[in-house]
Amino acid sequence: FRMLFRKLTKDVYRYLQKCVETHKEFNINMAIKTQTLTNGLKYSLATGNWGDQKKAMSSKAGVSQVLNRYTYASTLSHLRRCNTPLGREGKIAKPRQLHNTHWGMVCPAETPEGQACGLVKNLALMAVISVGSVSGPVIDFLEEWGLEPLEENAQSTNLTKVFVNGVWLGVCRDPL
């Protein structure tokens, strides 16, 4: 998009120079060619090559792909896929293994066979990716319902830790 926008601004600049040289009135509707962005994005989504059409060899390939719609289950599986951007021919084992932090988020069983084994991972069945939200109202609610600050109870081992967006806020004596 950045390259297409840069091309659009260059076209507007050239049109402005031409208007100044020929003493014409500048018309923004004539200066902005909407087809520049439209055609560029259509090309990128259709081919998967992101970048200028003229420089297709140096553009990033594989950024978009066709959605698999064989069955409902295969469509859901395709939408929940995580692709590791490494070469398939390498024999490095570490990127193919599940990390401890993947527990509950990445399915340990669903991965393709062959060269892509372990490099293509799927989200776990109950994993949900939520849209980012503001932490303030959640923190206020938790403080009203008995969240004890972390500074006062950091040493207690039998209390339940409370995290909001990955930040340890405090502890709770009576979890629901």
pLDDT at 171 over 70: yes
Alpha-helical (H) ranges within the chain are 2-22, 28-31, 34-47, 72-79, 136-144
Q: What is the pLDDT of residue 28?
A: 82
Q: What is the pLDDT of residue 44?
A: 80
Q: What is the pLDDT of residue 57?
A: 54
| Mean pLDDT on 96-114 | 82
Q: What is the pLDDT of residues 46-88, one digit of tens each?
A: 777 776 666 655 566 667 778 888 999 889 888 888 887 777 7
pTM of the predicted protein model: 0.50
> What percentage of residues in the chain have a pLDDT greater than 90?
3
Q: What angle do CA 45, 46, 52 make, to 5 degrees?
A: 70
More confident: 128 or 53: 128
